[in-house]
Amino acid sequence: MKRVDDFRLQLGSHELIPIMVGGMGVDISTAMLAVEVARLGGIGHISDAMVHTVTDRRFHTRYVKDRLSQYKFNVGNLDKSAAQFDLGLLAEATRLHVGNTMEAKRGPGLVFVNCMEKLTMNNPRETLRVRLRSAMDAGIDGITLAAGLHLGSFALIQDHPRFHDVKLGIIVSSLRALQLFLKKNARGSGRLPDYIVVEGPLAGGHLGFGEDWVKYNLVDILAEIRDWLHSEKLDIPLIPAGGIFTGSDAVKFLGQGAAAVQVATRFTVTQECGLPDDVKQVYFRATEDQIEVNNISPTGYPMRMLKECPALGSGVRPNCEAFGYLLDASGHCQYAEAWEYEKANLQKGQKPKIWDKTCLCTHMRNFHCWTCGHYTWRLKETSLRESDGRYRLLSAEHVFRDYQYSVDDQIELPFSD
């Protein structure tokens, strides 16, 4: 009977355990988690989402405070176009976050950065250029382009000295998205992605589907993409993601020609994951009916989360002058607009409560938006309950090894005391 360890992922000169732990912003997939996965021989991801606040937390810098004091004058203004990001500081923060992570890396695996292109940051093209280039400057092994693929991304970095050295990958949820990306990027830069993550509808975070996500399944999308690549004589490693909960689930995909798998949910309850411990307990306790896909993200993409999370129905004042990662090219965010509308229609003394959008920046920063994968409700099967009713947190090594060696859909529990 095969197990994941019978397979290897070949990426250039690197031979890896075919387990990639996906990026989880904002600092849910911490540097500690990514470095640990690399030590074990797989691929770990950090994320560059809200890099200033992550850097402030990691290195006691003051990027967010300084930005807020610079733009405080604009807080009452719905048009946020004045609150531009300083590109020099963005580069500095990215280099700090990425550079320190790479210095800590040990062992045979790799560390990549997940770069959500939908973080348009009030100046989509230039901020993306800086994010990508400064991660490359800081020695990142690879970049996974996610949510909201910018069709000219490769052109932004094609003159960088590491353009052919850094592994470049993309996340897509349909053949059409892949075809569009290849058409625009291959034409401009003459370079294909080194890997393609095919993310199905059961994944965590933002989904690359519409409201009809439930009609799709990962096996079919992967087969369609694999067959098309084959017909085009393109040999690019495919990495399915979304709902791969056991080593045996992974083996099924590897047996059908996947080069590796990308997983995330099982690592949300590890010690190395950035979520606060109490939130990890909420993930453990979650039942299937507490998980929903909704449209409250100002990105416009559906997002899966736990219904009881504080981000739902909160009326927090928009924080674009401090954060502002979702501001579009003209300085607008859907949440800021929803908030203004709600405020204008309130009776005196009432507090705003907004249900159709959320201030994703504020809530992700505070770990109040509990985005999760579909199988979060199964996490309780993966650990033991202590006498006080809390579930035992796992080590990333334990979860990684369980994916690597398990057979028969078994899940290895931690040792009991």
Ligand X SMILES: Cc1cc2nc3c(=O)[nH]c(=O)nc-3n(C[C@H](O)[C@H](O)[C@H](O)COP(=O)(O)O)c2cc1C
Enumerate binding residues for ligand X (CB under 6 A): 22-25, 28, 47, 49, 114, 116, 146-147, 171, 199, 202-205, 241-244, 262-265, 268, 371-373, 375
Q: Which is nearer to ligand X, 68 or 291 (CB)?
A: 291
- We find the least distance from the C-beta atom of residue 210 to ligand X, in angstroms, to be 18
Quick one: which of 139, 103, 113 has its CA closest to 27?
Answer: 113
**Helices within 72-174 (DSSP H only):** 87-104, 124-137, 153-157
Smallest CA-to-CA distance from 261 within 195, 360, 216 is with 195
Structure tokens given for 51: 């890099």
Query: What string of DSSP letters covers 3-56?
Result: -GGG--EEETTEEE-SEEEPP-TTTTS-HHHHHHHHHTTSEEEEE-TTHHHHHH
204 vs 331 by CB, closer to ligand X:
204
For ligand X, give the closer residue by CB, 28 or 140: 28
Residue with smaller CB distance to ligand X, 116 or 396? 116
The distance of closest approach from Cβ of residue 242 to ligand X in the complex, given in angstroms and rounded to an integer, is: 4
Residue 413 identity: L
Neighbouring-strand partners of residue 371: 305
CB 371, min distance to ligand X, A: 5
Q: Which residue's C-beta sits nearest to ligand X?
A: 22
Q: Which residues pair with 145 in a beta bridge?
A: 115, 170
Q: Which amino acid is at 279?
A: V
**How does strand 303-306 pair with strand 238-241?**
unpaired
| Cβ nearer to ligand X, comparing 68 with 286 | 286
Q: Which of 385, 379, 378, 389 is nearest to 416 (CA)?
A: 385
Nearer to ligand X by Cβ, of 84 and 131: the residue is 131
CB of 219 to ligand X, least distance (A): 14
Q: How far is the CB of 304 from ligand X (least distance, A)?
A: 8
290 burial (CB, 10 Å; 0-12 / 13-18 / 19+) is middle
Kindly state the smallest distance separating residue 81's Cβ from ligand X, in Å. Answer: 25
* SS3 assignment, position 326: coil
Q: Which two tokens stand for residue 59?
A: 């290195």
Nearer to ligand X, 68 or 171 (CB): 171
Cβ of residue 79: shortest distance to ligand X, in angstroms? Answer: 27
Closer to ligand X by CB, 123 or 246: give it: 246
What is the C-alpha separation between 267 and 396, in angstroms, rounded?
Answer: 6
Minimal distance, residue 283 CB to ligand X, in Å: 8
